[in-house]
Structure 1
Amino acid sequence: MKYTWLCCILLLSIVSTAQKLPTVEEKTNGLKKYPGFLDFYWDENAGKIWLDINKLDSEMIYVTSLPAGLGSNDVGLDRGLLDATRIVKFSKVGRKVLMIVPNYDFRAITNDVAERRAVEQSFAQSAIWGFTAEAESNGHVLVDATDFIIRDAIRVGNRLKGTRQGNYSFDKTRSAIYLPRTKNFPNNTELEATITLVNNDGETGNFVGAVTPSPDAVTLRIHHSFVQLPDNDYQPRLFDTRSGYFGVSFFNYSTPVSSPIEQYYVCRHRLKKKDPGAAISDPVKPIIYYLDNGTPEPIRSALLEGASWWNQAFEAAGYRNAFQVRLLPDSADPMDVRYNVINWVHRATRGWSYGNTVTDPRTGEIIKGHVTLGSLRVRQDYLIAQGLLAPYETGIPADDKMMKMALARLRQLSAHEVGHTIGLMHNYASSVSDRASVMDYPHPQVQLTSAGDIDLSNAYDQKIGAWDKVAVTWGYQDFPSGVDAAKSLDNILRDAAQKGLQYIADRDARAPGGLHPQAHLWDNGADAATELKAVMKIRAKALTQFGEKNIRTGQPMAMLEDVLVPVYLFHRYQAEAATKVVGGMYYTYALRGDGQTVTRPVTKAEQLKALNAVIDCLDPAFLRIPDNIVKLIPPRPAGYNTTRELFKKRTGLAFDALAPAETAADFPLSFLFNTERLNRMVQYEVQQGGLGVSEMINTLISKTWKVPRSSGMEKLIQLQTEQVLLTYLLAVSIDENASFQTKAVTLKALNELKTYIQVQQKSSKDADYTAHLAYALERIKAPEKAKPTVHKEIPPGAPIGCDIE
């Protein structure tokens, strides 16, 4: 009997433990309900969010973002930063609810369930969170989502540690739900938290220290978006390497063995014509972008206008009013995935602007365009114009040409970044085709009038480009039934190529060893060398008139250096473009059978023209800052810090007139002596009769070391430039990445230079020159000590500004 009673007691205990969970209604009684895509409840007393999951095992989009940022360009973590777009689903096992990311990088596009299952089970998924069911009713599961929301979801601590700002970790006690931006809508659920990270070591980096009230605690906001997946009415467009679009790629294990297993779709918004058969049609639903309503005038109008240029491209593709730009309503949240937004973002230092997207990884469909425009960019363009014009005779001129140029640049920048968010990559070959794309990086196109004055009226383009119209037509054209879409798309790109429109993207143009002679960042003109000569004349004119009128009355005279930097280095990008003609090769992203020229050599004559134009930038007279300018620049006054925007100094507080010349000489030499370039030149000399490394080095030596001696400051610059050139020669001679023949011809040139120096040493009667020669001989003895200087501490330039915009 006692045994029976004991069994009953144990059974009752088990039944009690396993009793049903309370219903969702019972658990949430008295809590404020937020109905929407995923219903949630707010517990004011506990500061908790209860999430009602009624879509178990149903996929949805999940995105995290940063609605309130750090304000440091160097660290990143800008307001509006988007993290990766993921597809997730909730799966319940007992009381455990797992948030799982399916692996769409590997799939089988087939109706065969078993075939799909085989692929799914072959590759790992990721369970990125685990919840505990606290209530359940009618297919609804209630979980406490508070810890999921209040966390370092975008790895702020890792970013701070990676940029050496301190050992920061998440502090739950100083973090909470941010209710004003926690909202619900029929197709998306938006949750937000204020989070704080604390520094555990006490040592804080300068970047964080410059932008936080107390660097011991960094408080930001993190946003979580759950979004309903788009319907199946979107038709993915196959990627074409000639089109200029971003893409998503995946491995499709259902493809025949004879076909490529990796497949690509382009990224683009959904857009359809109401009447696909009409030449011009209204869209079923237009693409609408919203500009940050915190943007001030006249910047607001410039950004609205520039972004609206894209409607020109959609009109060329046969749409009427398909692309619209409006001001963001006060009631809208810019992090809400329903809105394509253009954010006006502030930082402590100038930096890049970005065009990001929330994109369905299954199809490439862009769900949300999200632009970040750095607010300090406009000030840098204003400064460039200020340096070129020397405008302050009696204050700001009534006709403020600086502001006109800066606003023109903002229009272009707005169009450029929006272009990324409609799917387009950079096109760095458009400047040779009369500014054919806003997706290039444009340098201000400055001209001299017939009277010899600087003219900024055509600094930036005022419209969408010819290539952009081609790209949008290819990406968004809606073909009527019965039309061979694949053939029509191919014809669009063939016709563009026949008209001379080129497309070359980031990898090809950004690399220091860049290959294509017409694909550069921040350049102008059809011929890099010819344009460099024109830019040098602009620079000379600006330096000739440079003086007190370059700053406003009442400003410290030391501020002239801030204006001088972009003027002195005005030629930098065009010089870089010219260096990349040397050892270059013309090519296209050709497909078999499309009729495009695959590759074509750059002639030796073209390379020599570019090399000689670059060498002109090494002339001591070109590099010397006029004495009248040097005399006008005193040390920075108390209260004005030295910044990285200025020239580096070896002279203490005094302005260093030699350091800028060293920087400006090092810049083009670092590109010319890129090892990849030199290795190509050795081969192209034999294969194509191109310019060889030996001839390039001998040309440089003959126009630096072997020219008549200068005097005064130009003498010091001449000696300095020769030592910089020697540094690169020595470094190449022992560079393990240099080919045997590259090192051989470089070493031969060094030995010949050594003999020349020894001869000059015997006849020299100039003490400075003799010392220079002796120092060079000592350096030649120890080439391992020669470290390439690579732009020798050049002040930040890109994005006509700072350090993939």
Structure 2
Amino acid sequence: MPKFYHVVSAALLMALTQTSCSSTKVAKQGSTAAKTESTERSKPAPKSGLKNYSDVITKEAVSDQGVFTIHKVGDKYYYEIPDSLLQRDFLWISRFANLPSGLGGGYVNAGSSVNEQMVEWQKFENKIVLKTKSYSAYAADSLAISLSVRANNYQPTIYAFDIAALSPDSAGYVIDVTKFFLSDVKAFSGLDADLRKQYKVSKLDDSRSFIQSAKSFPLNIEVKQDFTYDATEPPSNSATGSISIIMNQSMVLLPKVPMQPRINDYRVGYFNINQYDYGSEALKADQKSFIRRWKLVPKDIEAYKRGELVEPVNPIVYYLDPATPEKLRPYIKAGVEQWQEAFETAGFKNAILAKDPPSPEEDPDFSPEDARYSVIRYVASTTRNAVGPSVSDPRSGEIIESDIIWYHNHLRSYRNRYLLETGAANPAARTLNTPIEDLGEMMKEVITHEVGHALGLPHNMKASAAYPTDSLRNGEFTQKNGIAATIMDYARYNYVAQPGDKNIRFIRQLGPYDHYVINWGYRYLPEAKNAEAEVPTLNKWIEEKSGSPIYQFGSGSGGYDPQSQTEGIGDDVIKASTYGLKNLKLVAPKLYDWTAAQTNDYEDLDELYGELLGVWSRYIGHVVTNVGGVRENRLKPSQQGFVYTPVSAKEQVASMDWLLSNAFSSPEWLHQSKISRNTHHANYAESIRSLQARHLNNLLSPDRMARLMENEVNGVKYNALNMVRQLQRGIWSEVYSGATVDIYRRNLQKAYLDRMAYLLNEEPGRSSRFGTPVEINQSDIRSIVRGELVQLQRQLKSARNRYSNDLTRYHIDDAIVRIDNILNPKNG
């Protein structure tokens, strides 16, 4: 079950625990609370209706000391909150610990965070109130405008608790939190308004909901709520009319003094936090963005200044889950510690470590839920995924918590893709029993990728286009440089290498961008006394690498940059996809021999063939992005060049020609009788239709056509009309050649007419998909669609009598009527 973990420095721990009652667990949950001599003697008289401490926290109490002391008395839970921790900043993270199958459409997993917010505990008269707190709007307390910031950004109260008693030394407050944790508090709920509406949730059933556990650690409190809701249409187990979830509520004490932040630069890839600084001298609230990173400080700053490798005061340490299979542990550790190479570029030695979990004899208090520890969880689940989320201090960007979760079945996905994408050129991949060394290498690199996220690094999809495509067929090059400039790209396998290429590296690895980005984000700058003072140095490092594709960053968002795509490799998408398809055409006829012939079972064959269609579709999608494509090069005004450059007309025409030949032709090579006739009674033609229609609709999307129309402004001699005309003539080529129209083409041509009907007759609206807005009804889109359909209908009428094949003639007659209905919908 996913828990909450953290690595924290000894110095930080000391600073934090000096302000709390105790940082040592003097009483464990499950045992009677230990009472000191002073506690036994101290029985303050009731004040303002308050009870004596001993009347609330009785001798039957089971107590757990940590950041707050938690007392369980019968079925009630109490927090004892030190006065010193009132108005301190805490981070509250709400996660699913357990959830029903299919919740959220299957895109939500155990361990998924549903809300993160900063909170503080305040005393108001005879109550303790829990309030949210935000640093998104900020001004220094010394500035007069800070009064206005507070007045105009008043944060809501989440809950108000009556003070039940004072602590024995009157330096703290006891509150009953039972009702709070048994209530459906929207701020902490796993079911948002959309999910409640989707599943018709009426209420929380109090009789079937309870607090499963509450534990206190030196820096955090972990509470698990087992909740059952009445729901008319639950995602699973519909007969019960219920949804049951277990929520994990984590409350973590933030450092009293925030870490010095590092200002974000959009030319370098880091997750970031944003604030509006109302104390800025600008004539508006100045938006500031800070990168998210761990706090690393060298032990010997003078040696660090001299350029020596120095260990950090507090390294980043990950513990392996005790449930991790022994044979996989070396690969997971290697995946974590591979980042040591990049941290050495930043001047740190042994900055990140992986360790086996301590035994009960070595550390009886070790718990994965303790916020002082980070743990790589190995989850027994059929989910094929691995995740590396982190939670950061919203005041500074300091990463204070990181989970790496590996789901058991994830290696199956990598096994399958290894076979499909490299099997033509890589004999080791031509089996379901992939060698453990290869599987281990894959796992190592996935762990490195997920740890990268936990270090603050987002995906850099631009890095896969950093290397010339043909260099990926060179053994010496790939062994040295890998297949992309970073591990943070989705460039998993070398599908470009061809049979006969020697000494090829087929699996991704850490790259030069990773060294660059870690140095940029983590190098300690002792002379800079504030974040602004670091900027000239950080800017210099970026501009020194400007112009080299190896050090560029692109998130891949927007879907318009052909050099910034998921799962692609090489700088030429047409060439890379051509190589990829050559390999797939060799793999497809061998798939039966490599699977069913060995296992005497069709399950793996069926699964792999479905994934092979997905790989084919992915290669096509890479080329589609060239059409209406715009390359992004993140620059600042001080640098030469344009940020956005449209793909040339020549490349766009070539891409359309490639698509007509490889995506929209009849893919006979994909039809393998040993596969289709042994895995499904009738599904092949429909599968091809679905994939071809997807790419056709993508090409004929309003946002892509908007970019093509913009080419007229930018002087690119290939516009939306050119694209539609080229596409239409290619898809309906039989009309001009007189060739018989086979089933694949008939399906595709009908899909084309459906898409044109959508573009012409949908309700006028503003399309903003992928961030390229266009007012469809006031653009050239409908003029082009109408004009080309009129031309097509004329050609179809002229050609119909040339066909003796009844099915082809019926298809053409049907198309003529469909076009008439599209052009004249009131007559349809």
- TM-score category (smaller protein): 0.7 to 0.9
CA distance in 1, matches of 2:107, 2:421: 31
Q: Which sits farther off after the overlay, 245-254 or 144-153?
A: 144-153
Q: Which residue of 2 aligns with 1:38?
A: 68
Q: Which residue of 2 aligns with 1:415?
A: 448
* Percent of pairs with identical residues: 19
Measure how far apart 1:596 and its partner are. 5.2
Q: Which residue of 1 aligns with 2:416?
A: 383
| Residue identity in the other structure for 1:763 | R
Q: Which residue of 2 aligns with 1:794?
A: none
Q: Which residue of 1 aligns with 2:491?
A: 442
CA distance in 2, matches of 1:257, 1:70: 50
Conservation of the 8 A alpha-carbon contact between 1:191 and 1:225: yes
Matching residue within 55, 58, 73 for 2:88: 58
1:775 aligns with 2:814: yes
1:474 aligns with 2:507: no
Q: Which residue of 1 aligns with 2:261?
A: 236
Q: Which residue of 1 aligns with 2:379?
A: 345
1:296 aligns with 2:325: yes
Q: Which sits farther off after the overlay, 130-139 or 519-528?
A: 130-139
CA distance in 1, matches of 2:262, 2:355: 28
Q: Which residue of 2 aligns with 1:371?
A: 404
Conservation of the 8 A alpha-carbon contact between 2:138 and 2:276: yes
Measure how far apart 1:20 and its partner are. 4.8
Cα distance per residue 1:567-587 (max 9 Å; x no partner): 233222222121111111222
Measure how far apart 1:353 and its partner are. 3.8
Q: Which residue of 2 aligns with 1:325?
A: 354
CA distance in 1, matches of 2:433, 2:599: 19
CA distance in 1, matches of 2:657, 2:351: 49
| Residue identity in the other structure for 2:311 | D
Q: Which residue of 2 aligns with 1:681?
A: 708
> Are residues 49 and 69 of structure 1, via their aligned partners in 2, closer, same or farther at CA, if it must alter by over 3 Å?
farther
Equivalence map 1:78-157=2 (5 Å): 78-112=109-143, 114-137=144-167, 138-152=170-184, 154-157=188-191
Conservation of the 8 A alpha-carbon contact between 1:425 and 1:505: no
1:267 aligns with 2:292: yes
| Residue identity in the other structure for 1:583 | G
Cα distance per residue 1:246-284 (max 9 Å; x no partner): 111122111113465222211111111222413222112
CA distance in 1, matches of 2:347, 2:816: 69
Q: Which residue of 1 aligns with 2:584?
A: 539
1:633 aligns with 2:678: yes
Equivalence map 1:219-258=2 (5 Å): 219-232=244-257, 234-258=259-283
1:578 aligns with 2:623: yes
CA distance in 2, matches of 1:450, 1:76: 38
1:613 aligned counterpart, secondary structure: helix
Cα distance per residue 1:69-88 (max 9 Å; x no partner): 44657345533233433322
CA distance in 1, matches of 2:346, 2:824: 59
Q: Which residue of 1 aligns with 2:216?
A: 184
Conservation of the 8 A alpha-carbon contact between 2:581 and 2:619: no
Measure how far apart 1:56 and its partner are. 2.7
Measure how far apart 1:244 and its partner are. 0.8
CA distance in 2, matches of 1:523, 1:99: 48
CA distance in 1, matches of 2:696, 2:729: 15
> Are residues 469 and 150 of structure 1, via their aligned partners in 2, closer, same or farther at CA, if it must alter by over 3 Å?
farther
Q: Which sits farther off after the overlay, 285-294 or 58-67?
A: 58-67
| Residue identity in the other structure for 2:204 | F
1:307 aligns with 2:336: yes
2:388 aligned counterpart, secondary structure: strand
Conservation of the 8 A alpha-carbon contact between 1:39 and 1:184: yes
Q: Which residue of 2 aligns with 1:13?
A: none
Measure how far apart 1:18 and its partner are. 7.1
Q: Which sits farther off after the overlay, 99-108 or 294-303?
A: 294-303
CA distance in 1, matches of 2:430, 2:567: 28
Structure 1 regions of 5+ residues with no counterpart? 1-15, 636-653, 787-805
Measure how far apart 1:430 and its partner are. 0.6
2:615 aligned counterpart, secondary structure: coil
Measure how far apart 1:151 and its partner are. 4.4
1:284 aligned counterpart, secondary structure: coil
CA distance in 2, matches of 1:227, 1:349: 29
Measure how far apart 1:724 and its partner are. 1.9
Equivalence map 1:706-725=2 (5 Å): 706-707=733-734, 708=737, 715-725=742-752
Measure how far apart 1:688 and its partner are. 1.9
Measure how far apart 1:684 and its partner are. 0.4
TM-score computed with the length of structure 1 as normaliser: 0.83
Conservation of the 8 A alpha-carbon contact between 1:39 and 1:52: yes
Q: Which residue of 2 aligns with 1:486?
A: 535
2:119 aligned counterpart, secondary structure: strand
> Are residues 215 and 168 of structure 1, via their aligned partners in 2, closer, same or farther at CA, if it must alter by over 3 Å?
farther
> Are residues 534 and 77 of structure 1, via their aligned partners in 2, closer, same or farther at CA, if it must alter by over 3 Å?
closer
Measure how far apart 1:620 and its partner are. 3.8
Q: Which residue of 2 aligns with 1:744?
A: 783
Q: Which residue of 1 aligns with 2:799?
A: 760
1:545 aligned counterpart, secondary structure: helix
TM-score computed with the length of structure 2 as normaliser: 0.81
Measure how far apart 1:778 and its partner are. 1.5
Equivalence map 1:546-557=2 (5 Å): 546-551=591-596, 553=598, 555-557=600-602
> Are residues 577 and 733 of structure 1, via their aligned partners in 2, closer, same or farther at CA, if it must alter by over 3 Å?
same
Conservation of the 8 A alpha-carbon contact between 2:421 and 2:494: no
Q: Which sits farther off after the overlay, 605-614 or 75-84?
A: 75-84
1:614 aligned counterpart, secondary structure: helix
Q: Which sits farther off after the overlay, 618-627 or 279-288?
A: 618-627
CA distance in 2, matches of 1:233, 1:91: 20
| Residue identity in the other structure for 2:588 | L
1:461 aligns with 2:508: yes
Q: Which residue of 2 aligns with 1:789?
A: none
| Residue identity in the other structure for 2:270 | Y
Q: Which residue of 2 aligns with 1:640?
A: none
Cα distance per residue 1:347-374 (max 9 Å; x no partner): 4554x54332221111111111123333
> Are residues 148 and 445 of structure 1, via their aligned partners in 2, closer, same or farther at CA, if it must alter by over 3 Å?
same
> Are residues 270 and 48 of structure 1, via their aligned partners in 2, closer, same or farther at CA, if it must alter by over 3 Å?
same
Cα root mean square deviation, aligned? 3.2
1:566 aligned counterpart, secondary structure: helix
Equivalence map 1:579-598=2 (5 Å): 579-595=624-640, 597-598=642-643
Conservation of the 8 A alpha-carbon contact between 1:99 and 1:127: yes
CA distance in 2, matches of 1:229, 1:144: 24
Measure how far apart 1:527 and its partner are. 0.7
2:489 aligned counterpart, secondary structure: coil
> Are residues 443 and 675 of structure 1, via their aligned partners in 2, closer, same or farther at CA, if it must alter by over 3 Å?
farther
| Residue identity in the other structure for 1:177 | I
Measure how far apart 1:597 and its partner are. 4.0
Matching residue within 534, 544, 549 for 1:495: 544
Structure 2 regions of 5+ residues with no counterpart? 1-44, 360-364, 468-483, 765-774
Measure how far apart 1:321 and its partner are. 0.7
Conservation of the 8 A alpha-carbon contact between 1:60 and 1:227: yes
Conservation of the 8 A alpha-carbon contact between 1:190 and 1:226: yes
